[in-house]
Structure 1
């Protein structure tokens, strides 16, 4: 524990210890627990700059990468290496290059690389990975061409760079150019994952089937890819073929089911995983909490929270966000807020979960207050935040606040989308500002859809503005004239809008077309959780 390192530090200071080995041990203790600043201070103040302690610099630099330290701290360590005359050492220099690359300081990485008197293929691979991660494939190719030798890591890094940039054709070209002896399981995995990321599951499957050997990551990539393609059956079929399933594979299955709304299957997979004695981690629990939130089962959510505490699963921001979201969606808003308030660091997704929860529970005042608090924090609002806060303004009737927020979209660096305009139109429509809403819709940068016109039409009927209702109805009719409806939802939407504007003939015409195409409006379905001793029953009811 980091506390143990601090206790040792206090003892050494009190005793006035001058034993370098003790201070070196303390540096390693701090670094292993990501207490990088303390480690660097001990190193600078208490250790003589001599060759005996040279291996500590790579330890500190690797800790800087692992803790995602700011480049500034890495530069301080670099300066210390220069003072100690260790910066010219091959191991220290290579670690510096890697550290700068992983901190996103590519120019500093290149400078450290160029200043090294001696470099090997590992050093070159470290810089190549930096170019690839930054998407600078021209720089990567220039470096690749100048390397005296290549390894399998070199080829895999280059292919990954093109794949992650979205240039899968170039990634495939370099894969085919890879010498057979360099084409390892990692190289195969990189190109297969590239096709999965591009949504080309057919080609991904073709290469996957040709692989001479497979690792856990490529199996998980295929499972995730099929889920994203909407083919849950094939995702499960691939999962069932895995010869020795590990945590990464189970996480892919559970997350896939949770993301497509197959809640019962996600929870069943979680329990099967426990039965196979695979220990879950924070990513597993984030998916399980998401499933509980979608199910709306507070009891199951509480059980999972207790499980997290009992198994001492690390509460990173994925888990904390999941707890906030789960308690909010399951109706315990007070406890969701309690967890939110005790979080030491909140990312944008966490702010969004809490603001959305407050807005959906009718606490518009509090949602706005939290939004203004977020504006003052390190995290800035994104498109989802702004949609939630505009919804809060709509339900709370805060017209002026909503308009002010909408006018500040450029300040947040967010481009207003159709759904944001829909919220604004709904806000103005509910307040009776129908002409202002109509002008906003007419001047939208993109074509307004049926939802926006429908919101405005509903406001016209609520406020009894027959003339505006006719204008809006004409716009809806114009929107659909000359083009075929593309899906069942559009037929139902248009039929409802025509009926709402009392255009009964057009509404009947659309209904007849629906009947000819075999389209029916599906009745709504809700679920009720019934607490029965020793078991829980989820009963669906049609209404």
Structure 2
């Protein structure tokens, strides 16, 4: 700001290069309004000026303004270039505006920028965030590729139902002589965790040790993978070897022990985290409340929840869902209902689902019907809620109501997806449902 004032006194602030740098300075310092003021007072603007302003809006989470600026830019006779598209596409992906994304994609093709590596990577990322992975993969197939291109797809596939694609792309990177980085490892380990592919996860763990230095993001991904695969002892060894544990490391271990019902260990870890001075967060409380719920530690869970309220930490709906589950499992249905009735926000499907599950355990058809009514409104096509209520009726011998609930499920378009299983064959993990056959029982491993 001192330099800005000096440039005004010397009358050089109107120089387009100085003004562009000032916009960039204010944008990166999170002073978006001041960046806009510099922009508005400029007598002459270059394409760089417009690009810096687009970047300003994107950086400061003003996505719609960034998109509108592209139109304004063209109305002033300036033509967007590859940097313009690269800057605006992350904003489009952030708000999942597929319509605007396709417009930018079409414009990049018309102007001949679609094969630019940075533009194609930005397009892939945008389509992935708009849940159009097939479009992202199409661009990947027809464009130049670097490590970022592979990482975008590995990360996106690992967060979808196509986790096997992430693992295949990770192996393909090595075949085309591209180096794996932190993003590659965290993405593929997330895919292994979601597939419970412990063998492949261990191989990637070993590969990371041989090729890279330790990194907290990869360490946390390993903790997540091992805990989800039920290998809590290995996870604990990894955890003990992490020199600078962050809140994610602690939260992952607390959740892992909680899922396995080792509540005392989970609670001890939570207390150790607090003693170590780690800045614990809402997820930390969610982890310990979940552990208390799985282990039936009602009073301990209530004390942590009350502690949150006393510290003026606003619980989310997930915290309330944990409390409903905690009280519901213990048969304290009326207390759970009182919490729902006194909620500061509208109850969501997680909260009503926790209540319905508790009612199913304890055969409370009255509150079960109440919870199911709200769930049918919130998620009319989710078959699990219909099945829970129907089974409750059946257990009480109310066969007519049970059949009516199943008919309502069909009427609303609910359909129970068939279960599938994974089996590891020659380092591959094919999925199959009842009655399906695998003609070839072995494939060449792509490594």
TM-score bin (small chain): 0.7 to 0.9
Q: Please say if residues 131 and 137 of structure 1, whose CA atoms lie closer than 8 Å, have aligned partners that are also in contact.
A: yes
State the 1:524 CA deviation: 3.0
In structure 1, runs of 5+ residues without a counterpart are 1-109, 462-468
Which has the higher mean CA deviation after the structures are superposed, 152-161 or 265-274? 152-161
Q: Please say if residues 171 and 191 of structure 1, whose CA atoms lie closer than 8 Å, have aligned partners that are also in contact.
A: yes
CA deviation map 1:95-129 (0-9, x unaligned): xxxxxxxxxxxxxxx24644678777666544423
State the 1:141 CA deviation: 1.6
1:232 match = 133
For these two proteins, the number of residue pairs brought into alignment is: 421
Q: Tell me, what secondary structure is at the counterpart of 1:526?
A: strand
Q: Please say if residues 129 and 157 of structure 1, whose CA atoms lie closer than 8 Å, have aligned partners that are also in contact.
A: yes
Matched, 1:264 2:164: yes
1:303–1:470 CA distance, 2 compared to 1 (3 A): closer
2:96 match = 199
2:105 match = 208
Distance 1:459 1:501 in 2: 12
Determine which structure has more spread, i.e. the larger CA radius of gyration: 1
1:140–1:302 CA distance, 2 compared to 1 (3 A): same
Distance 1:518 1:304 in 2: 42
1:293 match = 193
Q: Please say if residues 358 and 367 of structure 1, whose CA atoms lie closer than 8 Å, have aligned partners that are also in contact.
A: yes
Distance 2:386 2:369 in 1: 17
Matched, 1:145 2:47: no
Which structure is higher in RCO with an 8 Å CA cutoff and minimum separation 6?
A: 2
Q: Please say if residues 495 and 507 of structure 1, whose CA atoms lie closer than 8 Å, have aligned partners that are also in contact.
A: yes
CA deviation map 1:466-520 (0-9, x unaligned): xxx2541452365479x69631435444434544565433221121233456644
Structure 1 consecutive aligned stretches of length 4 or more whose deviation exceeds 6 Å = 116-120
State the 1:390 CA deviation: 0.9
Distance 1:154 1:347 in 2: 40
- Normalising by structure 2, we get a TM-score of 0.82
State the 1:431 CA deviation: 2.9
2:416 match = 521
Matched, 1:361 2:263: no
State the 1:402 CA deviation: 0.6
2:149 match = 249
State the 1:436 CA deviation: 2.3
Question: What is the 5 A alignment of 1:109-508?
Answer: 110-111=1-2, 113-114=4-5, 124-133=19-28, 135-146=30-41, 150-178=45-73, 183-211=80-108, 212=111, 213-214=113-114, 215-242=116-143, 244-311=144-211, 313-377=212-276, 379-410=278-309, 414-445=313-344, 446-447=346-347, 449=349, 450-461=352-363, 469-476=364-371, 479=374, 486-489=380-383, 490-499=385-394, 503-508=398-403
Distance 1:172 1:276 in 2: 36
State the 1:537 CA deviation: 5.6
State the 1:202 CA deviation: 2.2
Q: Please say if residues 216 and 248 of structure 1, whose CA atoms lie closer than 8 Å, have aligned partners that are also in contact.
A: no
CA deviation map 1:29-65 (0-9, x unaligned): xxxxxxxxxxxxxxxxxxxxxxxxxxxxxxxxxxxxx
